[in-house]
Amino acid sequence: MSNYSPLDVTFVKGDGCWLTDSNGDKYLDALSGIGVVNLGHCHPTVTKKLVDQSQKLLHTSNIYHIENQEMLAQKLCNLANMDKVFFSNSGAEANEAAIKIARLYARTKNIENPVILTASQSFHGRTMATLSATGQAKVQAGFSPLMSEFIHVNYDDFNSIQKLEDNKNIVAVMIEPIQGEAGVIIPKNTYLNQVQDLCKKNGWLLILDGVQSCMGRTGKLFAHEHNNITPDILCLAKGLGNGVPIGACLAKGVASEMLTPGTHGSTFGGNPLVTSAALGVLDVFQNTDVLDNVNQMSAYFKSEFDKHFSNNSVVKELRIKGLMIGIGLDANKVDCTQLVKKALKDKLLINVTGSSIRMLPPLIITKKEVDTIISKLLTLLGN
């Protein structure tokens, strides 16, 4: 179907930060398949897990115990300080699970018409519930009637949540620790803490959609670790499988008790193959210095960027947390709609949202590769 309009290139091979197309040309991937292959293409640890598991067992269904799934659930819960996990195949489905949990939670409070607060410009997925939760008109256009339970508040604006405190139908607040699809919008340091305090005070569930910002992307395994908080629900996907489709909805306390047998499910969710890949991903985070590299390369990128772009008339600002990078541009001075294609010609993969460049390079990126990105950005944006 024509819901995508792919660029004129086909990649046939990937290795670390590099992709090779069908003509044999190499590209520096500063997007990681939209924040998925965080450990780089074909990471040997993940590949080995997949090869080994595919020779043993691919799928049985959740009618039976799945060893890898149970191991992964335990590890994720330990790492995130959560109690239980539901495994899905995507970020949208992880968020769907969170929304269903919030509805069941509403039942325990005798709330018939539950309301979930989400943020304007947010992105939570493309299913009917998650696109209703999403705060972007372009994602919703044509799909009404939407689910009515979402009230959109301004992102990074605590008052816009606080002033709804009297609404007795509110059961949850669902936000991204950093907004990704909006072009990398990083809230004030205290924002998540304030939101959590308000949720606690009112008995609302705090649902963090960490689909894009977790799995090491910001320099911590989970983005909200920067705030020292634990949400009631944490949704993961993308980098969790480093390229195989897996999502997870982690829950703590009362939120973890809502789903009972028969209330939710997925045929593929958490199958032996994808959970083996995710176990490999966690091995890499635990046994290598990849998170240190994120922080070092983030600082290096920032200093190099400042050095080269501080007087650039096209660049308005750099927004960076770990290796989640947004570059705000002056749309009057550059045709933003052409940037992705221009960069592709120069063998650099980036993404553009509105008037921002977004980059999510692999977390294993080296200084030399950062230098290459900077020099290609200079070509793209001029001095």
Ligand X SMILES: Cc1ncc(COP(=O)(O)O)c(C=O)c1O
Please give the residue ranges that form the binding site for ligand X (CB under 6 A).
Answer: 34, 90-92, 95, 123-125, 176, 180-181, 209, 211-212, 237
| C-beta closer to ligand X: residue 101 or 211 | 211
Catalytic residue among 49, 220, 238, 321: 238
What type of residue sits at position 83?
D
What type of residue sits at position 218?
T
Closest distance of CB 133 from ligand X, Å: 9
Count CA within 13 A, CB hemisphere, residue 245: 10
Active site residue 238: yes
| C-beta closer to ligand X: residue 213 or 312 | 213
Closest distance of CB 263 from ligand X, Å: 21
Is residue 285 within 8 A of residue 278, CB to CB? The reply is no
- CA–CA dist 99, 318 (Å, integer): 33
What type of residue sits at position 154?
N
Catalytic residue among 87, 123, 158, 222: 123
E-strand stretches of the chain: 11-15, 18-21, 26-29, 84-88, 115-119, 150-153, 170-175, 205-209, 233-236, 247-251, 315-321, 324-329, 348-349, 351-353, 356-359
| C-beta closer to ligand X: residue 266 or 312 | 266
Region of 318 (left: φ > 0; alpha: ψ -120 to 50; beta: rest) is: beta
CB atoms within 10 A of CB 37: 27
Active site residue 86: no
Closest distance of CB 182 from ligand X, Å: 9
| C-beta closer to ligand X: residue 211 or 278 | 211
List the beta bridge partners of residue 116.
Answer: 150, 172
Residue with tokens 């060893």: 67
Closest distance of CB 221 from ligand X, Å: 16
- CA–CA dist 208, 177 (Å, integer): 7
| C-beta closer to ligand X: residue 33 or 315 | 33
Is residue 69 within 8 A of residue 270, CB to CB? The reply is yes
State residue 341 phi and psi, 5-degree precision. Answer: -70, -40
- CA–CA dist 135, 120 (Å, integer): 4
- CA–CA dist 208, 53 (Å, integer): 31
State residue 185 phi and psi, 5-degree precision. Answer: -105, 115
Closest distance of CB 313 from ligand X, Å: 31
| C-beta closer to ligand X: residue 57 or 146 | 146
Structure letter (DSSP) for residue 271:
-
Closest distance of CB 304 from ligand X, Å: 26
What type of residue sits at position 271?
N
Closest distance of CB 6 from ligand X, Å: 16
Active site residue 306: no
The angle subtended at Cα 235 by Cα 54 and Cα 204, nearest 5°, is 155
Closest distance of CB 226 from ligand X, Å: 16
| C-beta closer to ligand X: residue 155 or 309 | 155
CA nearest 160: which of 187, 142, 180? 187
Catalytic residue among 29, 49, 86, 209: 209
Residue nearest to ligand X (CB): 91
What are the residues whose beta carbons fall under 8 Å from the beta carbon of 42, sequence distance 6 or more? 14, 15, 16
| C-beta closer to ligand X: residue 242 or 312 | 242
Q: Would you give the distance in Å from CA 258 to the centre of its chain?
A: 24
Catalytic positions are: 123, 209, 238
